Amino acid sequence: MKRRTALTLPLALPAVALAQSAYPSRPVRLVVGFAAGGPTDVIGRLIAQDMSATLGQPVMVENRTGANALIATQFVAREAPDGYTLLLATLSHSVNAILLPGNSYRPLEDFTPVGLVAMLPLIAVTGAGSPFRDLQQLVAAAREAPGTISYGSAGHGGSAHLAAALLATRSGTEMTHVTFRGNAPALTEVMAGRVSFMFYPMIGIGEYVAKGQLRPLAISTAERSADYPEVPTMREIGYPGFEDYTQGLGVLAPAHAPAPVVARLNAAVRASLARSETAARLLTLGGIAAASSPEEYGTFLREDLERWRRVITAARISAEP
């Protein structure tokens, strides 16, 4: 019996190595927690198409919507760590873990970072008929009459909500949060003047500015945007470090994914982002390509968790509005 064990064990180890070296031998799923056609989904499909060509196997986007991506996140956390089920993680990955501590997943321990994909900066906008010519005037009005300045968002705990909450905290003002079922209806109310302003992803907003329906107030990037050269950054108007709170999109695998598999996936993501066509398409979607190593993405996630924990605590944001 001992002789048989001694013969079997050495054979088993190369078999594992061979299985990993042959990865992927079947299609890979990239799970997106938001609806098809939305910005996160579109970016996911763009990257998946490039990854398919690099990996030699289809990378198929699977939408598992609901609860601000909580359903998708929990699903991937429970899957086998073999590299065949991945998650396109957004800001909600950290925020759900903070607001819903009993959500049955741990944002760091239950996942293996593969790599960052893109950063999604925001732009603060108000209606063209608004009395506020710049963000400083809006903040001054909020100081004069607490609660009278309102901001819209696509939902509680989303990027637009937290960015405005961060502004209120940093400026020492009280503003009123108004939630909508998506960014589009929120933006409609801003344009109509029924909501004072909102932070909006820089995705398709240019046409409204060009038509004179919106007035841009500030952007969240570290440098001014080539698309909005006249719009100041948050740093320029007195809010340094605001750019650190830009939402990052990245790819995660379940915890304990094999290092060779993670390395292969990371190389596929980086190859996608290195394509000039992909980087240009990301820009049209309001994203900035942000390739990273798995270790760098892991550091980003740890820091992101603490950044948003501070904002949520300071703004007294709870799980429910």
Q: How confident is the model at residue 285 (pLDDT cuts 50, 70, 90)?
A: confident
Domain boundary among 224, 244, 264: 244
271 shares a domain with 213: no
pLDDT digits (tens, 9 = 90+) for 226-284: 888 999 999 999 999 899 899 999 999 999 999 999 999 999 999 999 999 999 999 88
Helices (H) and strands (E) in the chain, counts: 11, 11
Cα distance between residue 152 and residue 137, in whole Å: 18
**Do 220 and 163 meet the contact criterion of CB atoms below 8 Å apart?**
yes
pLDDT digits (tens, 9 = 90+) for 78-113: 999 999 999 999 999 999 999 987 777 999 999 999
Domain boundary among 244, 260, 288: 244
Within 10 A of 180 (CB to CB), how many other CB atoms are there?
A: 18
pLDDT digits (tens, 9 = 90+) for 180-222: 877 888 999 999 999 999 998 886 688 899 899 999 999 998 8
> Encoding tokens for residue 179?
């939630």
SS3 state at 151? strand
End-to-end CA distance of the chain: 65
221 shares a domain with 129: yes
Domain membership flag for residue 173: yes
129 shares a domain with 223: yes
Give me the mean pLDDT over the 28-46 stretch: 91
Q: Starting at the edge strand that comes first in sequence, how are the strands of the sheet with 288-289 ordered?
A: 59-63, 28-32, 85-89, 247-254, 111-120, 288-289
**Do 156 and 321 meet the contact criterion of CB atoms below 8 Å apart?**
yes
128 shares a domain with 78: no
pLDDT digits (tens, 9 = 90+) for 298-311: 999 999 999 999 99
| Residue 21 CB-density burial (10 A; 0-12 exposed, 13-18 middle, 19+ buried) | exposed
238 shares a domain with 139: yes
Domain boundary among 244, 265, 288: 244
